[in-house]
Amino acid sequence: MPSFLRSYFPILDWGRQYNTNTLTNDLIAALIVTIMLIPQSLAYALLAGLPAEVGLYASILPLVAYAIFGTSRALAVGPVAVVSLMTAAAIANLGITDTGEMVVAAITLAFLSGLFLVLMGLFKLGFLANFLSHPVIAGFITASGMIIAASQAKHILGVDAHGHNLYELAVSLIHELPNTSIWTLAIGLPTLVFLFWVRKNLKPTLIKIGLPTRVADIIAKAGPVAAVAVTTWITALFGLDEKGVATVGSVPQGIPPLSLPSGDWALWSSLAGSAFLISVIGFVESVSVAQTLAAKRRQRIDPDQELIGLGASNIASGISGGYPVTGGFARSVVNFDAGAETPAAGAFTAVGIGLATLLLTPLLFFLPKATLAATIIVAVLSLVDFSILSRTWRYSKSDFLAVAGTILITLGFGVEIGVSSGVAISILLFLLKASRPHMAIVGQVGDSEHFRNVDRHSVKTCPSVINLRVDRSLYFANARSLETKIYDLVAGQPEAKHLVLMCSAINQIDASALESLEAINHRLNDLGVKFHLSEVKGPVMDRLRRSHFLEELSGRVFLSQYEAFAALRA
């Protein structure tokens, strides 16, 4: 079988080793994830501002597509909180309120996001996700978690509150507090407390009383299902829907209908920016989870093929009436811990969701939206992590600025502006650091051949020789900094006759930096100081040889800093 087919269709690779034992493990994992995914799918559709069945549709065909094209053995694809919030924001920007038009927009958004991901995968553009640093992602997810929790508080209280950022939501909620529905609060608040207790305490409690770990895990994951069943029964029994408790209402029964994105190019252009952001954020979240889980089993994933796998999942979601999806952290960890060995577990989960869509949707009529809101709040608050602020403050002030800036902008202006600003802050801080490379005067450590920073170690130096180490590649943004540093050193050390630029950390010299080196060479020569290089790497030397710089160099190129210091000091 041609290798390129296996690279684009990973199912052809792992499918050859599939056996009965693997099937058993995948089926068990699928059962646990299905139990977890049913209430999550309904809840995240609510978060996205879409009908509940759209969440179920987004949890069927996308899982099958990922099983065919994805490379992670444990990643569980489907609706997730952050992407659902970004979907809601993208649709809100269109200014439409008709439910049918919103569903069409969501389908188009999923299809467009899928196209972006597939194209990025085919052109090997997975590296673009590197522009989203971990501090920025952590800050964005923390802020998004707070916004999501605040946006769902209205369903717990039974009020009509709106807003695109935390301030607007808080003001709206406070204004609506007098209109709180007592019956809705009586459903939502106990459910919230119960789900928090289940998340933290149920599994340890069950293990203490003697249940096997896997059984305890299944029961604990079924907590949201129990909450859905009990609150739905109570609402139907006491007719709470007639007393102000908002319910899901009629949910269409049957498999997802085949659908197509809108043919309105104005809608496509309006959604393009949001689709790209959703694609990148979803990919970063998904691939980080996939890599973490793969490392635990000494497996590997292909980031570029993951782009294709996630793209296929989103296109599949679009043609089956869903909205943008990606790999979820909590769901994937559950899938991994439950023993999933191949992506077939996701396909089996899709079968479970499909059966639920066929058979169980009539039972959802009396499901309170407050229950789904409680499910979302419990899920997203686990993503809020303010400790990232203290950790980055201690380790790197620039990373702290990126985290704090992303959190504040996301909370104040919404998710799309927040993540865009986070990327911009990261790039600006990177350029700022790159334009000011660390440079150190070095000296010989004892009689060894090692050279270290004079400010950190007791070293030997020579008044006539300046040894300067630059700890970054040289390019247009930092070349002037190098010139300024060298001129200041020579001006402050009149007895210097030689300056050695130690190039051990320089991996590249671009055309602008080469011009700066030529200027330094001429300037030092006029001052009676010879300019030398040491420890130049092979690729850098190859490029220097293609220029006139080495012919005009007033000094020499030394193989090592030790050789340079020994020769020039003598």
Residue 257: its pLDDT value, please? 83
Same-domain pairing of 426 and 443 = no
What string of DSSP letters covers 226-294? HHHHHHHHHHHHHTGGGGT--B------SSPPP------HHHHHHHHHHHHHHHHHHHHHHHHHHHHHH
Tokens standing for residue 89:
């924001």
**Does residue 512 belong to any structural domain of this protein?**
yes
Q: Each residue of 296-327: pLDDT tens digit? A: 887 788 889 999 999 999 999 999 999 999 99
pTM for the whole structure: 0.81
Residue 2: its pLDDT value, please? 57
Select the highest-mean-pLDDT range: 135-149, 322-336, 358-372, 552-566: 552-566
Alpha helix positions (H), 162-264: 166-176, 182-197, 203-208, 213-221, 223-238
Q: How many angstroms separate the CA atoms of 44 and 34, rounded? A: 15
Q: How many angstroms separate the CA atoms of 106 and 113, rounded? A: 10
Same-domain pairing of 392 and 411 = yes
Residue 473: its pLDDT value, please? 95
Q: Each residue of 37-71: pLDDT tens digit? A: 888 899 999 899 999 999 999 999 999 999 999 99
Same-domain pairing of 368 and 253 = yes
**Does residue 146 belong to any structural domain of this protein?**
no
Residue 285: pLDDT band by 50, 70, 90 thresholds?
confident
Same-domain pairing of 45 and 105 = yes
> Which of 342, 372, 402 is the last residue in one of the domains?
372
Say how many domains are in the chain.
Answer: 3
Q: How many angstroms separate the CA atoms of 534 and 514, rounded? A: 16
Determine how many CB atoms are found less than 10 A away from the CB of residue 350: 25
Domain that holds residue 417: 388-435
Q: How many angstroms separate the CA atoms of 49 and 527, rounded? A: 71
Same-domain pairing of 260 and 404 = no
Residue 338: its pLDDT value, please? 77
Same-domain pairing of 320 and 354 = yes
**Does residue 170 belong to any structural domain of this protein?**
no
CATH number, domain with residue 549: 3.30.750.24
Helix (H, G, I), strand (E, B) or coil at 302: coil
Same-domain pairing of 444 and 411 = no
**Does residue 144 belong to any structural domain of this protein?**
no
Q: Each residue of 432-456: pLDDT tens digit? A: 888 889 999 999 999 999 999 999 9
Residue 484: its pLDDT value, please? 95
- Of 104, 73, 72, nearest in space to 90 by CA: 104
**Does residue 179 belong to any structural domain of this protein?**
no
Residue 443: its pLDDT value, please? 97
> Which of 347, 372, 397 is the last residue in one of the domains?
372
Same-domain pairing of 562 and 543 = yes
Residue 6: its pLDDT value, please? 64
Average pLDDT over residues 213-235: 86
The amino acid occupying position 15 is G
Phi, psi of 337 (to 5 degrees): -65, -30
pLDDT at 1 over 60: no
Segments of 276-394 assigned E as strands: 326-327
Residue 129: its pLDDT value, please? 66
Lowest model confidence (mean pLDDT) among 26-30, 133-137, 144-148, 228-232:
133-137
Tokens standing for residue 468:
């300067």
Better-scored residue on pLDDT, 515 or 385: 515
pLDDT at 80 over 60: yes
Same-domain pairing of 21 and 39 = yes
Determine how many CB atoms are found less than 10 A away from the CB of residue 265: 8
Tokens standing for residue 31:
């059962």
Tokens standing for residue 319:
């043609």
Lowest model confidence (mean pLDDT) among 31-35, 388-392, 444-448, 544-548:
31-35
Same-domain pairing of 490 and 414 = no
**Does residue 183 belong to any structural domain of this protein?**
no
pLDDT at 206 over 70: yes
Alpha helix positions (H), 95-197: 99-122, 134-157, 166-176, 182-197
Task: List the Cα angle 269/270/275 in 5-degree steps.
Answer: 85
**Does residue 181 belong to any structural domain of this protein?**
no
CA 51, distance to chain mean position in Å, is 26
Same-domain pairing of 255 and 108 = yes
**Residue 267 contacts by C-beta under 8 Å, 6 or more apart in sequence?**
94, 105, 108
**HSE-up of residue 79 (Cα within 13 Å, Cβ side):** 40
Phi, psi of 450 (to 5 degrees): -95, 145
Q: How many angstroms separate the CA atoms of 489 and 199, rounded? A: 61
Is residue 273 a contact partner of residue 87, using CB atoms and an 8 Å limit? Answer: no
**Does residue 334 belong to any structural domain of this protein?**
yes
Same-domain pairing of 301 and 404 = no
